């Protein structure tokens, strides 16, 4: 499977590329092709050090969309609208949103758009045939970075296209010890996204690191 990561040079994108490249063809997207190539070279070098074989290349964000069967939008919430206005070709693609609209004052809080959630905003901005699915919203970027570090988390998945959701859940279940759970239609995405400021506040006020969730 080909997985394009828009903003694949960031904390989440780079870590996901490391985890996915041994099993899939990963296209790290960026606004800057040189930056994307440099991150993909680092990813390949890191895997090589671990005697793993991977497939990862760097391209511009538009090529990551065009090439990917699945496209992950690994960009900060505040740049979602401007980025999606510049990109085309999402028709019939599965689009994964790990995006959380979070703001910070004396604590982290959920600050969703009028649509109800970042995922619903993304669905509105994309063509109707794009299949938007939320996933990976509640896993800290730090935890993705070392493939030797087991990811023993649950991943809540929302989406309106059952086949797309099933495909994303299958993908999730191949990564480390992640376990996917169906969290309902896309209009439930706000519940999943809003867990993240809770996790950040728990970490901050209890001197914890990279707090995650597991449903048992
Ligand atoms: N960080 C976490 O622990 C975490 C956990 C769960 C979910 N998330 C979600 O995952 C998403 C990515 O988080 P992140 O921490 O990986 O973000 P990030 O590192 O801050 O940024 C990701 C990438 O976004 C691109 N970017 C920066 N400014 C931009 C702009 N003005 N326009 C378009 N693209 C821009 C950059 O890529 P280029 O410069 O290469 O274009 C950057 O590498 C966010 O929506 C976040 O809510 C994050």
Ligand 1 binding pocket (C-beta < 6 A) is 7, 9-13, 30-32, 35, 74-77, 79, 82-83, 98-100, 137, 139-141, 196
**pLDDT for the residue numbered 116:** 98
Distance 80 CA to ligand 1 centre (A): 10
Contact of 20 with 53, CB cutoff 8 Å = no
Q: Where are the beta strands (DSSP E) in 50-176?
A: 55-60, 70-73, 94-97, 102-104, 108-110, 131-134, 154-159
pTM of the model: 0.98
What is the full per-residue pLDDT of the chain (216 aa) written as tens digits?
999 999 999 999 999 999 999 999 999 999 999 999 999 999 999 999 999 999 999 999 999 999 999 999 999 999 999 999 999 999 999 999 999 999 999 999 999 999 999 999 999 999 999 999 999 999 999 999 988 899 999 999 999 999 999 999 999 999 999 999 999 999 999 999 999 999 999 999 999 999 999 999
Site to substitute for ligand 1 among 75, 83, 139, most atoms within 8 A of C-beta: 75
Nearest residue by C-alpha to atom 1 in ligand 1: 141
Q: At what angle do helices 189-205 and 118-125 cross, to 10 degrees?
A: 140
pLDDT digits (tens, 9 = 90+) for 17-28: 999 999 999 999
Nearest residue by C-alpha to atom 22 in ligand 1: 10
Nearest atom of ligand 1 to the alpha carbon of 73: 11
**pLDDT for the residue numbered 148:** 85
User: What is the distance of C-alpha 179 from the center of its chain?
Assistant: 15
Neighbours of 206 (CB within 10 A): 8
Nearest atom of ligand 1 to the alpha carbon of 35: 40
């Amino acid at each position: 499977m080909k997985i394009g990561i828009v903003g694949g040079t960031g904390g989440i994108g780079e870590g996901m590329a490391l985890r996915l490249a041994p099993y899939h063809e990963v296209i790290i997207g960026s606004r800057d092709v040189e930056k994307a190539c440099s991150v993909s070279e680092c990813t390949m070098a890191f895997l090589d050090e671990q005697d793993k074989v991977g497939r990862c290349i760097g391209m511009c964000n538009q090529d990551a969309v065009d090439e990917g069967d699945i496209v992950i939008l690994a960009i900060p919430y505040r740049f979602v609208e401007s980025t999606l206005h510049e990109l085309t070709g999402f028709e019939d693609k599965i689009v994964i949103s790990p995006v959380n609209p979070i703001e910070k004052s004396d604590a982290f809080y959920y600050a969703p758009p009028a649509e109800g959630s970042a995922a619903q905003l993304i669905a509105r901005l994309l063509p109707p045939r794009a299949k938007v699915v939320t996933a990976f919203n509640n896993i800290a970027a730090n935890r993705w970075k070392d493939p030797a570090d087991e990811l023993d988390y649950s991943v809540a998945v929302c989406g309106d296209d059952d086949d797309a959701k099933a495909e994303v859940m299958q993908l999730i279940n191949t990564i480390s010890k992640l376990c996917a759970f169906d969290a309902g239609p896309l209009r439930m995405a706000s519940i999943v996204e809003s867990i993240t400021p809770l996790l950040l506040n728990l970490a901050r006020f209890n001197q914890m690191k990279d707090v995650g969730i597991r449903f048992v």
